[in-house]
C-alpha cells in the first residue's frame, strides 16, 4: 500500500472539490481509459476526467442535477444492482458516496462485477478513525462529520432523512473490499488536520505502542496496523482508498 500523500492543493475551503481533484489525478496518472463516475453529482469529476482525455460514464440517483454541457447522466441507485454489463470499466470512482448507502457490500460486489480484472475502485469517505473523529466520538458519542445524525427541515421544523447514514471506517472498508475480490493498494487523505498538535502527537505515540504482538502474527494484520497508524488515517479529514480487482467473485457466494 502507499500512504500519507496529501494533494498539494488541499488548503481551500471546498474540500470535497479538492478530493475530486485528487481522485482525478490518481485516475489520470494510472492511465485508466473507461471510467464510471458514481455518484457523479453535478459532474465535477466527470469534467476533470473528460479534460484528461478519458471516456466517462456518469451516473447518479438524481441525474437531473448533472450539468456537464452536451452530456447526460444515467439514473442508478447504489442500493441496487448496477445497470452495466460485467467487466465493462477500467476504473470506478465513488467519491463521497459509500456513506450515503445502505449496503457497502453490494457496492463492492457490483464494482467487482463491472470492472475488468486489474481495474481500480476509488472510494472516498469521511475518515471516522482520525484522532479528531475518535475524540469527537469520546466526547460527543458520534464520529466527526456525523453530528447527531439529525437533520431538520427548515420549512417545517420536522426531522427529515439525513444524507450520511453509514459511517464506515478504514477497518470495515478494507474488509468489505477484500471480501469482494479487491486488494487495497492506496490509502491517502484529502488533507491532514492538526498534525502538529501536541495532544494529537501524544495520542499517536500511545496508539503506536498498541497492537505490535498481533501484527507479528500475520502479514495481513501487520499491513492493517500500518495503515491504522499512517498519517492518512490518524490525521486525514477524508480517506481516499484505491483498491485493485484481483479476482472475480461469485455474486451469490463471494467466492
The pLDDT value given to residue 3: 39
Alpha-carbon gap, residue 177 to 104, rounded angstroms? 9
Give the rounded percent of residues in the chain with a pLDDT score beyond 90: 81
Distances (CA, A) of 200 to 131, 168, 194, 196: 7, 22, 7, 7
Q: Find the mean pLDDT for residues 109-130.
A: 98
CA angle 54, 26, 94 (to 5 degrees): 80
pLDDT in tens, 193-245: 888 899 999 999 999 999 999 999 999 999 999 999 999 999 999 999 999 99
pTM, rounded to two decimals? 0.90
* DSSP at 200: H
Mean pLDDT of the chain, nearest integer: 91
Alpha-carbon gap, residue 193 to 218, rounded angstroms? 31
Give the domain ranges of the chain: 2-128+146-193+236-245
Exposed/middle/buried for 198, CB within 10 Å: 0-12, 13-18, 19+? exposed
Residue 90 has pLDDT above 80, yes or no: yes
**Which of 2-16, 28-42, 103-117 is predicted with the least confidence, judged by mean pLDDT?**
2-16
The pLDDT value given to residue 255: 52
CATH architecture of the domain with residue range 2-128+146-193+236-245? 3-Layer(aba) Sandwich (3.40)
* Cα within 13 Å of Cα(197), Cβ side: 12
* Cα within 13 Å of Cα(86), Cβ side: 8
Q: Are strands 55-60 and 74-75 parallel, antiparallel or unpaired?
A: parallel
The pLDDT value given to residue 149: 81
Q: What is the DSSP string of 84-117?
A: S-TT-EEEEEEET-GGGSS-HHHHHHHHHHHEEE
The pLDDT value given to residue 1: 52
Exposed/middle/buried for 201, CB within 10 Å: 0-12, 13-18, 19+? middle
Helix (H, G, I), strand (E, B) or coil at 183: strand
Q: Find the mean pLDDT for residues 105-126.
A: 98
The pLDDT value given to residue 253: 56
The pLDDT value given to residue 10: 36
The pLDDT value given to residue 145: 82
If one compares 101 and 6, the residue with the highest pLDDT of the two is: 101
Residue 106 has pLDDT above 90, yes or no: yes
Q: Residues 187, 239: contact at Cβ < 8 Å?
A: yes
Q: Residues 190, 238: contact at Cβ < 8 Å?
A: yes
Return the CA Rg of the chain. Answer: 18
Q: Find the mean pLDDT for residues 72-98.
A: 98
Residue 95 has pLDDT above 70, yes or no: yes
pLDDT in tens, 33-69: 999 999 999 999 999 999 999 999 999 999 999 999 9
Exposed/middle/buried for 8, CB within 10 Å: 0-12, 13-18, 19+? exposed
Residue 137 has pLDDT above 50, yes or no: yes
Helix (H, G, I), strand (E, B) or coil at 22: helix
The pLDDT value given to residue 118: 98
Amino acid at each position: 500500500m502507499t500512504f500519507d500523500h496529501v494533494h498539494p492543493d488541499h488548503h481551500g475551503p471546498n474540500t470535497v472539490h479538492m478530493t475530486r481533484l485528487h481522485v482525478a489525478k490518481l485516475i489520470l496518472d494510472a492511465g485508466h481509459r473507461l471510467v464510471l463516475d458514481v455518484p457523479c453529482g453535478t459532474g465535477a469529476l466527470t469534467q476533470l476526467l473528460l479534460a484528461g482525455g478519458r471516456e466517462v460514464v456518469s451516473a447518479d440517483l438524481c441525474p437531473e442535477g448533472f450539468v456537464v454541457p452536451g452530456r447526460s447522466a444515467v439514473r442508478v441507485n447504489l442500493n441496487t444492482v448496477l445497470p452495466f454489463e460485467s467487466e465493462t470499466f477500467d476504473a470506478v470512482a465513488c467519491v463521497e458516496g459509500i456513506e450515503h448507502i445502505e449496503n457497502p457490500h453490494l457496492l463492492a460486489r457490483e464494482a467487482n462485477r463491472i470492472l475488468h480484472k486489474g481495474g481500480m475502485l476509488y472510494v472516498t469517505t469521511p475518515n471516522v478513525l482520525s484522532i479528531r473523529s475518535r475524540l469527537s466520538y469520546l466526547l460527543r458519542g458520534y464520529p466527526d462529520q456525523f453530528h447527531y445524525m439529525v437533520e431538520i427541515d427548515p420549512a417545517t421544523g420536522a426531522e427529515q432523512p439525513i444524507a450520511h447514514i453509514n459511517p464506515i471506517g478504514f477497518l470495515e472498508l478494507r474488509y468489505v473490499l477484500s471480501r469482494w475480490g479487491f486488494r487495497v493498494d492506496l490509502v491517502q487523505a484529502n488533507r491532514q488536520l492538526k498534525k502538529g498538535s501536541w495532544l494529537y502527537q501524544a495520542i499517536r505515540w500511545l496508539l503506536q505502542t498498541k497492537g505490535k504482538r498481533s501484527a507479528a502474527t500475520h502479514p495481513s494484520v501487520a499491513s492493517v496496523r500500518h495503515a491504522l497508524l499512517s498519517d492518512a488515517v490518524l490525521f486525514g479529514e477524508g480517506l481516499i482508498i484505491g483498491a485493485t480487482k484481483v479476482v472475480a467473485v461469485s455474486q451469490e457466494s463471494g467466492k
